[in-house]
Amino acid sequence: MLTARATTSPDAIAVLDDRHRWTYAELDARARSLAAGFIDFGIGPGDRVLVQLPNIAEFVEVLFGLFYAGALPVFCLPAHRQSELIPIAKASGAVAMVTCHHHQTFNHATLAAILRDHAPDLRHLIIVPDRGKPGLPGGTHALDALRRVPKELPAVAASDVAFLQLSGGSTGTPKLIPRTHDDYLYSVRRSAELCGLDSNSVYLAALPVAHNFPMSSPGILGALWAGGTVALAIDPSPTTAFTAIQQFKVTITGLVPPLARLWVERAENSKAYDLSSLRVLLVGGARCPDELARRIGPALGVQLQQVFGMAEGLVCYTRLDDPDDVTLATQGRPMSPHDRIAVVDENGDPVPPGVDGLLITKGPYTIRGYYRNPEANASSFTEDGWYRTGDVVALRPDGNLVVKGRLGDRVNRGGEKISAEEIEAHLLDHPLIRDAIVVAVPDEHLGERSCVFVLAADPTTPPALGQIRKFVRERGVATWKIPDLLEVVDSFPETGVGKISRRSLRAELSARVSQS
Ligand code: AMP
Ligand code: DBH
């Protein structure tokens, strides 16, 4: 795809950030020079490479450099810390990591060195240096030190795995999602069509670009597929993003609902920025409240397009020519005529149309299994290979889906997913805690926040929220996973006879908070 674009439109602008402006020919040449360096380092077809970069132009050249070398990026988020990254490094068997030196004052190079001590296969640390500041830690390589004269590239088949995405809400062995070049590019092409991208489009990556949503729905890859331009904003705040929209004449971008709300509020209160180039705003990652959906078009002067997707595959969109009744109140319908969806009950039997049930799916770009994780595969797929999304939805007669919630094993905190089990496992190590259950509670701003129900080890000295938050933070987890609320209780409800499943306990407790 990149080779073709660099040949047909070498001088079109491919990538922009506040420091870089690369044409397709330049992006292609940069990616090829990095590929030659990766190959020289012994990184080649099938090797896994952790990529933890913020929204900077280098992300795009590293991505294509790895693709050209046949290596598989493992997409980590800038917010991930060692509790997440050590298991990811081990489960993926990554041989290298590409990261930055600092991002938002956090030292990622030091984090990379810690990972190397824990993950025996991690041999090469490659760092994008801070602007104008020397002094990378010993034993690491600056990204530019990789560049070589381009050489012949290894053969890569369209059906080969292209990269590993992370599933939000992984526990124990991380759920790594293997996507192939052909399945992913199919989803990117179809997304680009449905979102109206062409060579004049400028897509702004405002969400962390390693997420499946800004990567592919239609994301930076959709923009490059269409021959358009990718712009990257270092953070999604209205100030930074509105400056980028004005400066780069951005036409389309994507946001999670809480950020969409911040943008709407800023635009409603101030006309300081010229946002007139912006035509489409995708909103997804979590349920967009209907009230917010109605304000988006008027406030930002855009067409709202709702997107309900998952890194495992299935992506649903409202269409740009749908009536308001669909665009403002549903999460759309599958993007491919070959996607299959079914709404079933807990036994796997179809529920009547319009009734809430669990969404399962199968299709041309939905995975059939996680990477080296038989345990997750046994629970996440039906016997005949349908992916159990875990989402509770209702299918309207017009074919559009309305997302109602999820099975209670995950908190969706404004689009960032939290695995209840993962945080419970940390909390169980706290000396003041005998048992802990993490549930979602409704939140006006974020959609959901996390609440932990705790049985104290000694009822006379129950833990305080501040202590718990500090404890979880010091475990080195992404900030959004730190519990928001704490309830100390004397006992957990009995949810049935015999073995109490943590899942039903979570459901019971979460029903209790929703009613209060
Ligand atoms: P992940 O598996 O981490 O890629 O997260 C995908 C999950 O995000 C889906 O299964 C849904 O639970 C949630 N999600 C994504 N988009 C939406 C949306 N528009 N409305 C509600 N939930 C969403
Ligand atoms: O939340 C997601 O994972 C998501 C949301 C919108 C996604 O993967 C996507 C679109 O492709």
- In a domain, residue 446? The reply is yes
Residue 395: which CATH number?
Answer: 3.40.50.12780
Tokens 């969409």 sit on residue = 260
Name which of 86, 80, 143 is nearest 417 in CA terms: 80
pLDDT of residue 515: 67
Q: For 62-72, what is the mean pLDDT?
A: 98
Q: How confident is the model at residue 500 (pLDDT cuts 50, 70, 90)?
A: low
Query: Is residue 347 located within the same domain as residue 434?
Result: no
> What is the overall mean pLDDT for the chain?
95
pLDDT of residue 502: 74
Query: Is residue 343 located within the same domain as residue 459?
Result: no
Last residue in a domain, options 359, 387, 406: 406
Pairing mode of beta strands 141-142, 124-128: parallel
Rounded Cα distance, 219 and 233, in Å? 13
Tokens 């979602």 sit on residue = 440
Q: What is the largest CA-CA distance in the chain?
A: 72
pLDDT, tens digit (0-9, with 9 covering 90-100), for 123-176: 999 999 998 777 888 899 999 999 999 999 999 999 999 999 999 765 667 899
Last residue in a domain, options 376, 406, 436: 406
Domain ranges, residue 380: 184-406
Query: Is residue 325 located within the same domain as residue 199?
Result: yes
Query: Is residue 377 located within the same domain as residue 418?
Result: no
State what percent of residues in the chain have pLDDT above 90.
Answer: 90
Q: Which strand ranges, in their side-by-side order, compose the sheet holding 433-443?
A: 433-443, 447-456, 485-488
pLDDT of residue 244: 98
Find the range with the poorest average confidence among 268-277, 293-302, 505-514.
Answer: 505-514
Query: Is residue 323 located within the same domain as residue 417?
Result: no
Q: For a pocket test of ligand 1, which of 292, 417, 480, 481 has the largest count of ligand atoms closer than 8 A to its C-beta?
A: 417
CB atoms within 10 A of CB 483: 22
Query: Is residue 246 located within the same domain as residue 353?
Result: yes
Q: For 371-400, what is the mean pLDDT?
A: 96
Rounded Cα distance, 170 and 266, in Å? 34
Q: Give the residue, 433 or 507, on which the prediction is more confident.
A: 433
Q: Is it the case that residue 498 has pLDDT exceeding 70? A: no
Query: Is residue 190 located within the same domain as residue 263?
Result: yes
The tokens for 112 are 């990379």
- In a domain, residue 176? The reply is no
pLDDT, tens digit (0-9, with 9 covering 90-100), for 9-20: 999 999 999 999
Residue 504: which CATH number?
Answer: 3.30.300.30
- Ligand 2 contact via 236 beta carbon (within 6 Å): no
- In a domain, residue 165? The reply is no
Q: Is it the case that residue 207 has pLDDT exceeding 90? A: yes
- In a domain, residue 179? The reply is no
Query: Is residue 222 located within the same domain as residue 349?
Result: yes
- In a domain, residue 426? The reply is yes
For residues 46 and 225, the answer to whether their CB atoms sit within 8 Å is: no
DSSP codes, 297-357: HHHHTSEEEEEEEETTEEEEE--TT--HHHHTT---EESSTT-EEEEE-TTSPBPPTTS-E
Last residue in a domain, options 358, 379, 406: 406
Q: If you take atom 12 of ligand 1, which residue's CA is the nearest one?
A: 391
- In a domain, residue 164? The reply is no
pLDDT, tens digit (0-9, with 9 covering 90-100), for 409-419: 889 999 999 99
Find the range with the poorest average confidence among 47-51, 160-164, 166-170, 428-432.
Answer: 166-170
- In a domain, residue 177? The reply is no
23 Cβ neighbours under 8 A, 6+ residues apart: 10, 11, 12, 13, 14
- Whole-number Å distance, alpha carbon 280 to ligand 2 midpoint, is 17
Structure pTM?
A: 0.95
Ligand 2 atom at minimum distance from 310 CA: 8
Ligand 1 atom at minimum distance from 306 CA: 19
Give, to the nearest 10 degrees, the angle between helix 24-40 and helix 58-69: 60
Q: Give ∠ CA 340-216-308 in degrees, rounded to 5.
A: 50
For residues 449 and 485, the answer to whether their CB atoms sit within 8 Å is: yes
Q: Is it the case that residue 384 has pLDDT exceeding 90? A: yes
- In a domain, residue 171? The reply is no
Residue 43: which CATH number?
Answer: 3.40.50.980
Query: Is residue 230 located within the same domain as residue 337?
Result: yes
- Ligand 2 contact via 335 beta carbon (within 6 Å): no
pLDDT of residue 348: 95
346 Cβ neighbours under 8 A, 6+ residues apart: 358
Query: Is residue 372 located within the same domain as residue 351?
Result: yes
Q: Is it the case that residue 516 has pLDDT exceeding 70? A: no
Query: Is residue 221 located within the same domain as residue 330?
Result: yes
Q: For a pocket test of ligand 1, which of 315, 391, 400, 407 has the largest count of ligand atoms closer than 8 A to its C-beta?
A: 391
For residues 94 and 184, the answer to whether their CB atoms sit within 8 Å is: no
Ligand 2 atom at minimum distance from 417 CA: 1
Query: Is residue 370 located within the same domain as residue 474?
Result: no
For residues 2 and 31, the answer to whether their CB atoms sit within 8 Å is: yes
Task: Please tell me the total count of domains within the chain.
Answer: 3
